[in-house]
Amino acid sequence: MKKTTLKEIAETLGISISTVSKALKNYPDVSAKTKKRVIDLAESLQFTPNTFAQSLRSNESKTIGVIIPSMVHYYFSSILDAIIKESEKNGYMVIILQSNEDHELEKKQINLLLNKGVDGILISLANGTKDFQYLQKVIDYGIPLVLFDKINKLLKCSKVIINDIKASYDVVTYLINKGYKRIAYFRGDLNPQNSIDRFLGYKKALEDNGIKYDSSLVYLSPIANFDEGYANAKKLIEEDKIDVDAIYTITDLTAIGVINYLNEKNIKIPDEIAVFGFSNWFMSSVITPTLSSVEQNAYRTGEKSVELLFKEIDSKQKGEPFKHETITIDTELVIRNST
Amino acid sequence: MKKTTLKEIAETLGISISTVSKALKNYPDVSAKTKKRVIDLAESLQFTPNTFAQSLRSNESKTIGVIIPSMVHYYFSSILDAIIKESEKNGYMVIILQSNEDHELEKKQINLLLNKGVDGILISLANGTKDFQYLQKVIDYGIPLVLFDKINKLLKCSKVIINDIKASYDVVTYLINKGYKRIAYFRGDLNPQNSIDRFLGYKKALEDNGIKYDSSLVYLSPIANFDEGYANAKKLIEEDKIDVDAIYTITDLTAIGVINYLNEKNIKIPDEIAVFGFSNWFMSSVITPTLSSVEQNAYRTGEKSVELLFKEIDSKQKGEPFKHETITIDTELVIRNST
DNA sequence: AAAACTTACGAAAAGGTTTTCGGAAACTTA
DNA sequence: TAAGTTTCCGAAAACCTTTTCGTAAGTTTT
């Protein structure tokens, strides 16, 4: 089975290819009668234009590329959900790549997408990413680029983020107001901006509330997973940090590791130790006890990211200049039984 | 910034476009000297062939399409993880679409992918899908198609599934051997094949173990989510089904709903009622109590699906006939504290 | 030295669409 | 009726790569 082409329609009707093309695109210089003949035949043959040829001519693929660290992740899959749906509404398809937190792979994938001829790129950076030359290359090539979640402030392009400093500040302030005094923090690596910012928010809230920052209450969980949360909680308890009354973590998964350890040791949450997470994974609402967290509005982040990208693609098509924007997505504290 | 073309290289070197193309593809009828000149210049200009033109010529996009019901789902995102990674290894990119369990949308998306010119399609069917004409169309067009997870037996194409009947049979047999006698089942809709099969496995295990099937112990949860599990558990308890000693559900999420209700009512798991799920979501290993489940090997399902698809794409390129295969992925019971 | 090969390159077509431009025919205006 | 306008269509180029086929020059064989 072969696809119908303009040529076939033209030959069948005894007219030229140009006329067929113009008829289907409703050009004014085709008579109503001819238009009808063309459209009728095109429909009966289920004609759809060959996208390869269209892309070659227009240099547009009607496809965008997305690079995320990992797909099996509540936050990212929610963002992708939004990106895919919004793109489809706009007649675009989405190619997804996973950097796997590997900086070199990310670099290669950017090049793959550029070669592929995508009309725009959305990316949440891998943690290790320090050299931004290849992203600058995307910008130089004039390909619309939007950074979301894990961004780099130095790049001149649009960005969608949350205010991590404020969100983190709010968490700690809430804990202090609840009466918790010795608040441990399980921080992430100091590489992606949001990891730094959450740590800064933690510190600032302590300071503003007259609590001295104590570095012995800060534990590192570089990949922010379940095991690290569990291990750090174990360490904390075994180090006899008996006065710690709350543990706040870089992300929910780590917090759930903490909860599991505390549950095992029969340490009462929140009576003996409270736990606060970040990102509001679905899981957090169904574990025991339910986990307080920060709703990051992943879906909205995805929506806004594509929105910015399409704005930029649009400007490019029209040859208009484009003003980069940075959108900050609102976050909210979700209070549950763990605090 | 514009992309380098063969033409530019040809003009710079004062040779023809054909020769440049052949030099880069290492044709034997280009002298070593010319080859070197071409390759050197191509590298310094960072030449990469225009994929639009390549696709137009070869009628291949080096892209495959995937349609799943939903992306924010542990099972599906794991499958996608595998699909994306394996495709990348083979030099293919992946376009992902979500049918949202909407049969009409699914149909539209198949057409989108066909028009896009993807080299193959992977799909897990929406629950409501009853009319398979448009999938037959894919096959008729000669586009490689692989069904996974939620399939239809009548379609003549490759498939990757698990043995749902056996997996379910094993669960119930295990429960019976553990001494549970009144085993309730929260079943899914009778539409996708796997939902039917799990139900059949449940019935058969009862029968083979001399336990009479009791339809009053079967509850329906059509979309198999948390709330339905919770609601059905509530209903079961409020109906005073006091002798029920185990609840087995179509999927983990539903089981977690059950656990949450039982926890709330202080009904001891597994002492008063045991709970068994299906799919082994990550969540199941961290809730209280941890949930017994069936490991479905999602990643492996993804791997095998692309493997079959690429086999078929390969055969097509070589003009060889292709023999459809159905691969059955092994499952294992994962026993935890809920049973 | 003529015949038979080999080597190395280029012309050209094909893949399908889009859009500009030119021109013939039909029509309107003075 | 001549000049000016519309209306409608088609030729052709452009987007870029790939591959077949032809051919000139050079090399080897009789």
Estimate the share of chain A in helix, then strand, then coil, as percent rounded to the nearest 5: 45, 15, 40
Report how far apart, in Å, the C-alpha atoms of A92 and of each of A85, A316, B83, B101 are.
Answer: 10, 16, 21, 20
> How large a percentage of chain B has pLDDT more than 90?
92
Q: How far apart are CA A203 and CA A173, in angstroms?
A: 10
Nearest residue, CB atoms, B71 vs list A80, A95, A141 = A80
Element (H, E) at B253: helix B252-264
Q: CB-CB: which of A56, A95, A96 is closest to B53? A: A56
Cβ proximity of B333 and B296 under 8 Å = no
Nearest to B104 by CA among B78, B82, B126: B126
Q: Assess whether B317 (CB) lies less than 7 A from strand D.
A: no
Q: What DSSP state is assigned to residue A178?
A: T
Domains and CATH numbers, chain A: 6-49 (1.10.260.40), 61-161+299-330 (3.40.50.2300), 164-295 (3.40.50.2300)
Q: What is the pLDDT of residue B266?
A: 95
Q: How does pLDDT run across B129-167, given as a tens digit for each residue? A: 788 899 999 999 899 999 999 999 899 999 999 999 999
Comparing A285-294, B110-119, B123-132, the range with the smallest average pLDDT is: B123-132
**What amino acid occupies position B163?**
N
A120: nearest Cα among A141, A103, A105, A106: A141
Question: What are the tens digits of pLDDT across the range B313-334?
Answer: 999 998 888 899 999 999 999 9
What pLDDT score was predicted for residue B129?
A: 77
Asked if B117's CB is within 8 angstroms of A98's CB, the reply is: no
Rounded to an integer, what is the distance from CA B78 to the centroid of its chain? 8
Q: Which parts of chain A sit beneath pLDDT 70?
A: 1
From residues 12-41 of B, which are strand D contacts by CB within 7 A?
A: 17-18, 21-22, 24-25, 29
Distance CA B55 to C1' D22 in A:
27
In the numeric block, the tokens 């104590």 are attached to A214
A15 CA, C23 C1': separation in Å? 17
Nearest CA in chain A to B260: A286
Compute how many other C-beta atoms are within 10 angstroms of the C-beta atom of residue B6: 21
What is the side-by-side strand order in the sheet with A145-148?
A326-329, A158-162, A145-148, A120-123, A63-68, A93-98, B93-98, B63-68, B120-123, B145-148, B158-162, B326-329
How much is the mean pLDDT over chain B?
95
Return the half-sphere exposure (C-beta side, CA atoms, 13 A cut-off) of residue B52: 20
Q: Which of A55, A96, A256 minimises the CB distance to B286?
A: A256
Distance from CA of A254 to the nearest CA of B (A): 11
Burial of B90 (C-beta count, 10 Å sphere; 0-12/13-18/19+): middle
DSSP 8-state symbol, A102: -
pLDDT the model gives residue A219: 97
pTM above 0.85, yes or no: yes
Q: Other CB atoms closer than 10 Å to residue A277's CB: what's the count? A: 31
Cβ distance B185 to B202 under 8 Å?
yes
**pLDDT above 80 (res B1):** no
Report which of A48, A37, A40 is spatially closest to residue A2, judged by C-alpha positions. A48
Q: A189 or B122, which is more confident? A: B122
What does the pLDDT look like over B285-313, one tens digit per residue? Answer: 999 999 999 999 999 999 999 999 999 99
Interatomic CA distance for residues A254 and A277, integer angstroms: 8
For the segment B178-190, the average pLDDT, to the nearest whole number, is: 95
Q: Residue A257: its chain B contacts at CB < 8 A?
A: 286
pLDDT, tens digit, 9 for 90 and up, residues B28-69 = 999 999 999 999 999 999 999 999 999 999 999 999 999 999
Contact yes or no for A233/A203 (Cβ under 8 A): no
Which pLDDT band, with edges at 50, 70 and 90, does B191 fall under?
A: confident
d(CA B126, CA B191): 9
Between B52, B93, B140, which is nearest A52 by CB? B52
Is the CB of A12 less than 7 A from some atom of nucleic acid strand C? no
Q: What is the pLDDT of residue B208?
A: 97
User: Which of B177, B162, B185 lies closest to B276, judged by CA?
Assistant: B185
Task: Give every CB contact of residue B325 below 8 A, 6+ residues apart in sequence.
Answer: B158, B159, B308
Q: 């069936």: which residue's tokens?
A: B294
Q: Which residue is nearest to nucleotide D14 (CA to C1')?
A: A57
B58 touches strand D (CB under 7 A): yes
> What does the pLDDT read at residue B300?
98
What lies within 8 Å, CB to CB, of A286 at 6+ separation is B226, B256, B257, B259, B260, B283, B287
User: Under DSSP, is residue A10 helix (H, G, I), strand (E, B) or coil?
Assistant: helix
Average pLDDT over residues B192-200: 93
Chain B residues with CB under 8 Å of A282 CB are 283
Residue of B nearest to A95 (CA): B95
Q: Taking CB atoms and an 8 Å limit, are B117 and A56 in contact across chains? A: no
